[in-house]
Amino acid sequence: MSPLIDILKLHHPKDTEKSAIRAIGGRELNKSFNELCSKLIENLEMSYTSLAQDFFRTNKNSIQNWRGFNKKYINGHPIPLYAIDKSLESLNLKNKEKHREIIEKIEYLQCGRVAEKVKAVKYLTPDLVRLCGAHAADGSLYGAKDRGVLSALWDIGDQERQNILETRQWIKNLFGFELKFRQKGKMAYLRSNKQVISRYLIQIFDFPIGRKTEIVGEPKILSEDDERLLTKISEEMKWKLRLDFAKEVVNFDGHSTFSGGIVSVGLGSNSQKLLKNVSDTFDHFGIRFNS
């Protein structure tokens, strides 16, 4: 089974209440948050009003909603990720079973107060890693002016139409929405201002907003022990995911030739780190790249 991602890490400390990422998991998630709040008022010896104002820095009505007491939300009320994270940390429950149980209950994410909800991607799956490989090769994140922290426009383009169609399908499989396929001359591309894509790329996979050509590399979460993974990953699975990443880098940025009955594959990049990452991965599987 794919390892569980701590998607509470999608939150950024500079998020405002307006831009905060919210979790939706039905009444069960609200019930779990209410249980955390009950333990907090007991441990901190404060009222729910004080918990709202002094601990969460919000109003009492918001806490009531997050705890599931707004009957208008029959399918559960969205809860800011920071509220869940802060509660778990205060109760010393981070990276423990309760933490994992709550992540499992999150079904959808909402980026901001009024944004459309999208599927929460909770596991480090091959499709998610392939998306990262494609982005490392040919994707871009452009900072959005006058919007919340980490707000960015994402796009990816390639002359191989099939590469972009596959990327479009990964996004649909992962997040549940379909991006418009675009074509300009020989270039096929996708573009999205949905913040869920940029949040995963930045907060989970460490890609920067802006120029990345010379510094891009394999995400740390694929090769190192990383606190953003809540369940262990075997060495075998780790290498398989690294291979999924490397394949898409080559698929988007590489080239192939056929001569003398032999297929040769090459990869060019301005990032020495990325070239080494890809070379090391293929070398592990017995495929050598010549410098």
Which tens digit of pLDDT belongs to each residue from 8-47? 999 999 888 778 999 999 999 999 999 999 999 999 999 9
Q: Using CA atoms, how far apart are residues 189 and 267, in angstroms rounded to an integer?
A: 21
Q: To the nearest whole number, what is the mean pLDDT of the chain?
A: 93
Contact call for residues 33 and 106 (beta carbons, < 8 A):
no
Q: What is the pLDDT of residues 222-239, one digit of tens each?
A: 998 999 999 999 999 999
**Per-residue pLDDT at 248 exceeds 70:** yes
CATH code given to domain 126-284 = 3.10.28.10
206 pLDDT higher than 60: yes
Domain ranges of the chain: 26-105, 126-284
Mean pLDDT of 113-132: 94
Residue 93's nearest CA partner among 6, 13, 31, 12 is 6
- Whether the CB-CB separation of 209 and 143 falls below 8 Å is answered with yes
Name residue 80's beta-bridge partners. Answer: 22
pLDDT given at position 263:
56
- For the entire predicted model, the pTM comes to 0.93
As given in the structure block, the two tokens for residue 63 are 């806490």
% of residues, the chain, pLDDT over 90: 80
Is residue 174 within 8 A of residue 124, CB to CB? The reply is no
Separation of alpha carbons 262 and 28, rounded Å: 57
Whole-angstrom CA distances from 188 to 51, 152, 158, 159, 252 are 51, 20, 6, 6, 12
Q: Region 139-150: what's the mean pLDDT?
A: 81
What one-letter code names the amino acid at 165? L
> What is the Cα Rg of the chain in Å?
21
Mean pLDDT across the stretch 171-199? 96
What does the pLDDT look like over 255-290, one tens digit per residue? Answer: 766 556 665 677 878 899 999 999 999 999 998 877
Q: Is 258 helix (H, G, I), strand (E, B) or coil?
A: strand
Report whether 73 contacts 108 (CB < 8 A): no
